[in-house]
Structure formats: C-alpha cells, structure tokens
Amino acid sequence: KAGVTQTPRYLIKTRGQQVTLSCSPISGHRSVSWYQQTPGQGLQFLFEYFSETQRNKGNFPGRFSGRQFSNSRSEMNVSTLELGDSALYLCASSLTGSGNTIYFGEGSWLTVV
C-alpha cells in the first residue's frame, strides 16, 4: 500500500515568487492536512481538506492557500514568498480526519532566498 507522496521533495525559490506543493494521500483516505515545520516555531497546522472542502484552518496569512481534487489529491500554494516561509512542509492523510490514525509524507523542503 503506497504511503503519502509529496512532490517536489526539495525546491529553492526567490522572494516574491509563488510555489505549489503537491500531495497524494494514501488510497482511500479523504482527509488531507498540511503542516509547516520550522526550527523556531515547530510544527504548525495550516489547513485540512475533506471531499474538496476546507474544513479546518490554522492561523496563517492568506498567502497560504490550498485545494483538494476529487481524487483526494491536494495542493498547497504560497504566494509572494518571504524568507520566513523557508520550512519543511508536511502533508498528512487519514480516512476521515477525525479519530483515525494520521499518516505523513516525506515532506517538501522549501528554501526561499
């Protein structure tokens, strides 16, 4: 059974640019969440999608957005990149997003220069 797949694994962007990260959840999982991990702030929840709808949202500016497709695959987008957006972005999937085990992908390492 394939795990959570994130692409790309590593990327370098310039300030002001935008970036799109992709996540394919475990087959059958309909809930996809995104987290940002930095040395200073630790792991912070960005948002969660279920059946193409955003159900939960963390405390991040509007530059951070996401979407989910009918096949449960999800993308997150960060516009107008800032140096502080440099982080490991982790995608997680679960069956329903509530009361189930949550599995993570390998993450996407974003460096903003």
Partner 1 sequence: AQKITQTQPGMFVQEKEAVTLDCTYDTSDPSYGLFWYKQPSSGEMIFLIYQGSYDQQNATEGRYSLNFQKARKSANLVISASQLGDSAMYFCAMFPPGNTGKLIFGQGTTLQVKP
Q: Rule CB under 8 A: which residues touch partner 1?
A: 31-33, 35, 42-43, 45, 48-50, 55-56, 58, 88, 90, 92, 94, 96-99, 101-107, 109
What are the phi and psi torsion angles at 83 (to 5°)? -55, -35
- Give the nearer residue to partner 1 in terms of CB position, either 16 or 64: 64
Beta carbons within 10 angstroms of residue 32's beta carbon: 28
Please state the closest distance from residue 3 (CB atom) to partner 1, in A: 9
- Give the nearer residue to partner 1 in terms of CB position, either 81 or 105: 105
- Give the nearer residue to partner 1 in terms of CB position, either 80 or 111: 111
Are the C-beta atoms of residues 67 and 49 closer than 8 Å to each other? yes
Please state the closest distance from residue 45 (CB atom) to partner 1, in A: 5
- Give the nearer residue to partner 1 in terms of CB position, either 24 or 33: 33
Residue identified by tokens 């040395």 is: 39
Please state the closest distance from residue 16 (CB atom) to partner 1, in A: 25
Task: Say how far apart CA 73 and CA 93 lie, in whole Å.
Answer: 10
36, 45, 48: which is closest to 82 by C-alpha? 36
The amino acid at 105:
G
Please state the closest distance from residue 105 (CB atom) to partner 1, in A: 7
